[in-house]
Structure 1
Amino acid sequence: MSDQPTEQRDAHGERTAWWIRAYRIGFGLLGVLALVWIPLRNIDSATFSLTNYLSYFTIESNVLSVIVLLVGGALAPQGAHWQTFRGAVTLYMLITMVVYAVLLAEVDVMLTDRWINDVLHRIVPLVLLLDWLFVPMAARLRATPRLIGLWLIFPVGYGVYTLIRGPIVDWYPYPFIDPRTQGYGSLTIGLAVLLVVFVVLAVAMAALGDLPARWRERRSD
């Protein structure tokens, strides 16, 4: 009988510690500052394109991460739909961090300010990953094909959008998705490899996010 009220409080987010909410809001605001810094600084520049800026996967995933952090800090929702969304955004930020470290660390991706690079490619992704690993969910998420497919809709959709928009505006955000420099054959192989990596990361993300719930169940046995 004593377990039921505890589970009910967890489901409504009432047991989320104040310091968890505080760091979520703090890093969420840091993410907002990093995201708006370059557009504000270049607002009068004739060569700056806001549309191009918003067409980077890094920027789009960080916009989603700011939503997760600020909502998670202010409301700490625990519903299944929110946890699915939270896991998806954490996956996108992990993709951002890994792809940048492996493929883009020496490439100009419009983020020439060192602190913005660190915030968007390292700090915020790491915060979301640690939050996902150590702040337990009220309900367990399982790495089902449906969940993995749902999480991968956004990266796949981003790739389709980039390949359609690229020839129209003669601009691509990243070299590995630019057919002008490598041809469509190499591009297809490279994107297929990336998709496999994303699937592996998604499965790992779901499994790791499930660990706190497993530990909690073992303690209650």
Structure 2
Amino acid sequence: MAVESARSTENPTSIPIRVARVAFAVLTAVTLGFILHDGASDPTFSVVNYFSYFTVLSNVLTVVVLGIGGLVDPRGMHWQLFRGAVTLYMVITGIIYAVLLSNIEVGIAGQWTNDVVHRIMPIVIFLDWIVVPARQRISESQSLVWLTFPVVYGVYTLIRGPIVDWYPYPFLDPRSQGYVALVIGLVVLTVAFVLMALAVNAIGRLGNKWRYGEASAGVE
């Protein structure tokens, strides 16, 4: 434990990167606030629905990761696991948007807000994961635990959807596609998410090797 604690304080993140983290955290928070404020002008707007978008939740977590990472710069194992998880969620957000939602109305206030939450921030937090990787080695099984949140989110959405007659994303809506197509789609998404989790972890390890050298790549 003493060795891990000592190593977690080595190689503190540079001041420019920490400043950039805070700046992007503020940008994301302002963007989310703007979307919320803009939506509130619509009498049909629901705050619960707003926070039922995976995009919104993953961006809220991004504010936490970048804000704390910039102000405090924790380096312990639990924090790195949390960083990796949120990085995965934003990668999912960016890829799913690009593949399935780019030509669909997703309830975002304007083009600039859409670009921030769906395009810019997934790239920013992914680059942060590469440039300042976890010093400790994260196993494949640990990276798969990151999928707990998407699974819980999916269950929540499918249970709540019929109750309120609303689904945040068309690929989670059985009303138009039927349950057979929904199940097939969820299986495909699950496999894709597993591959994304493993890829995010593997790329983080490459970043570790690049920044800290071969010897540190096996630190537990």
Structure 2 residue corresponding to 1:154, chosen from 142, 149, 162: 149
Cα pair 1:13 1:75 within 8 Å, conserved: no
Matched ranges for 1:73-92 at <5 A: 73-92=70-89
In structure 1, the partner of 2:36 is 39
Structure 2 residue corresponding to 1:214, chosen from 206, 209, 213: 209
Structure 1 residue corresponding to 2:98, chosen from 80, 101, 113: 101
In structure 2, the partner of 1:204 is 199
- C-alpha separation in 2, matches of 1:142 and 1:149: 9
Listed as ranges, the gaps of 5+ residues in structure 1 are none
Cα pair 1:62 1:120 within 8 Å, conserved: yes
- C-alpha separation in 1, matches of 2:215 and 2:169: 46
Question: Mean Cα displacement is larger for which, 201-210 or 12-21?
Answer: 12-21
Listed as ranges, the gaps of 5+ residues in structure 2 are none
- Aligned residue pairs total 213
Question: Mean Cα displacement is larger for which, 14-23 or 68-77?
Answer: 14-23
Is the partner of 1:42 in helix, strand or coil? helix
Structure 1 residue corresponding to 2:56, chosen from 59, 65, 72: 59
In structure 2, the partner of 1:186 is 181
In the TM superposition, what is the alpha-carbon distance from 1:39 to its structure 2 partner? 1.6
Give aligned-pair identity as a percent: 51
In the TM superposition, what is the alpha-carbon distance from 1:219 to its structure 2 partner? 7.2
- C-alpha separation in 1, matches of 2:169 and 2:205: 33
Cα pair 1:25 1:74 within 8 Å, conserved: yes
Structure 2 residue corresponding to 1:167, chosen from 162, 166, 177: 162
Is the partner of 2:213 in helix, strand or coil? helix
Cα pair 2:12 2:73 within 8 Å, conserved: no
Question: Mean Cα displacement is larger for which, 167-176 or 39-48?
Answer: 39-48
Cα pair 2:132 2:207 within 8 Å, conserved: yes
| Alignment TM-score, normalising by the size of structure 2 | 0.91
